[in-house]
Amino acid sequence: MKFNSELEKVIRLALKEDIGSGDVTSNSTIDETKKAEAILLAKSDGIISGLDVAEKVFRILDKRIVFHKLINDGEFIKAGSVIGKIKGPARAILSGERTALNFLQRMSGISTLTNQFVHQIRHTKAKILDTRKTAPCLRYFDKYSVKMGGGENHRIGLFDMILIKDNHIAVSGSITNAIKLSKEALKKTRKKIQIEVETKNLSEVQEALDNNVDIIMLDNFSIAQMRKAIDLINGKCKVEASGGITLKNVRKVAETGVDYISIGALTHSVKALDISLDVRIL
């Protein structure tokens, strides 16, 4: 993972949140000269993501810490696997433990769930997408984890795609008017970004289609409605399915012929992968 100043700032804020003015437990019980080594142990099967972030946590606390990855992000591991080793000042390892695990467990949980969805639809052309339903200030980490699980990123934020949703349509008056205004704005700014429209029924699909958009989102369509929409669109633009999609029904959704399936639960309902950090004093 590549880090910029903004990402490092997030990690530093996470450390500040936890350590504050100092780790009073470690500082009072452990001599500052003591060294330790630790292992990162996976206690559940899953796809690992966030090892570089965990390393950054420890290295920010003490540059003398040596972090050795035994696998790479995106790899599947079995419960009981050692995924990394850490060696250095004991105080820094213990002070960084919770923050490092918070990142690593969350990110690996996202990658693992994403991979489960990807596995269900591997026989189709559909791609699993994330959404903007991410933890505040953790969006890059969340979306990176989706990619490590085999998914793809939808728009990163409000700046890199026009996605006309129901509230935009309500305020602008109609799908047609919202698309017209969007195209006029893009022409003025000379931005080359895609336009996607959220639709609730087949008549809205037809209206979006008549206005030549790049992607049509089928929001909470039934499987039967999706098939009708796919026939209506007939390859004229890309199609995204969204809303109420689970591991139980994602295969049927993909088999309708949609290009993309967006799933907010990948990042808004994360179940952390069980990973522990076990320390011993040298």
Residues 162 and 54 both lie in one domain:
no
Q: What single-letter DSSP state applies at residue 231?
A: H
According to the model, what pLDDT value does residue 280 have? Answer: 86
Q: Which amino acid is at 17?
A: E
Q: How far apart are CA 112 and CA 273, in angstroms?
A: 8
Measuring CA to CA, how many Å separate 201 from each of 156, 224, 230, 249? 27, 12, 12, 20
- Let me know: does 168 contact 185? Beta carbons within 8 Å: no
Can you give the pLDDT at residue 245? 97
Distance CA 115, CA 223 (A): 23
**Domain harbouring 77, CATH code:** 3.90.1170.20
Q: What percent of the chain has pLDDT over 90?
A: 97
Cβ atoms of 40 and 104 closer than 8 Å: yes
Give 75's pLDDT tier (boundaries 50, 70, 90): very high
Residue tagged 């399936």 (tokens): 261
The reply to whether 195 and 82 lie within a common domain is no
Residue 51, pLDDT score = 98
How many independent structural domains does the chain possess?
2
Domain containing residue 197? 123-268
Q: How confident is the model at residue 98 (pLDDT cuts 50, 70, 90)?
A: very high
CA distance 156 to 267: 13
Q: Tell me which residue of 198, 113, 187, 123 sits closest to 151, measured CA to CA.
A: 113
- Label residue 99 by pLDDT band (50, 70, 90): very high
pLDDT at 281: 80
What is the three-state SS of 243-270? CCCCCCCHHHHHCCCCCEEECCHHHHCC
The arithmetic mean of pLDDT across residues 97-119, rounded, is 98
- Answer yes or no: is pLDDT of 157 > 90: yes
Q: Who's near 71: CB < 8 A, 6+ residues apart?
A: 48, 51, 77, 81, 83, 84
Average confidence (pLDDT) over 139-162: 97
pLDDT reading at 77 higher than 90? yes
pLDDT score, position 2: 84
Same domain, yes or no: 110 and 135:
no
One domain for residues 192 and 230: yes
Q: How confident is the model at residue 1 (pLDDT cuts 50, 70, 90)?
A: confident
**Is residue 21 located within the same domain as residue 107?**
yes
pLDDT given at position 3: 86
Q: Tell whether 103 and 84 lie within a shared domain.
A: yes
Quick one: 88 and 195 in the same domain? no
Whether the predicted pLDDT of 212 surpasses 90? yes
The model's confidence at residue 268, banded by pLDDT at 50, 70 and 90, is very high
Residues 69 and 173 in one domain: no
Return the closest-CA partner of residue 111 out of 278, 275, 267: 267
| CA angle at 264 for the pair 259 and 269, rounded to the nearest 5° | 145
70 and 164 assigned to the same domain: no
The CATH number linked to 226 is 3.20.20.70
pLDDT, tens digit (0-9, with 9 covering 90-100), for 14-60 = 999 999 999 999 999 999 999 999 999 999 999 999 999 999 999 99
Asked if residue 282 has pLDDT above 80, the reply is no
pLDDT, tens digit, 9 for 90 and up, residues 222-247: 999 999 999 999 999 999 999 999 99
Give catalytic residue positions. Answer: 98, 133, 165, 198, 219
Determine the pLDDT at residue 11: 98
Contact call for residues 48 and 83 (beta carbons, < 8 A): yes
Residues 6+ positions from 185 with CB-CB distance below 8 Å: none
* Same-domain status, 129 and 248: yes
* Residues 21, 40 within the same domain: yes
- Residue-wise pLDDT for 162-182, tens only, equals 999 999 999 999 999 999 999
3-state SS assignment for residue 121: coil
Indicate whether 114 and 9 sit together in one domain.
Answer: yes
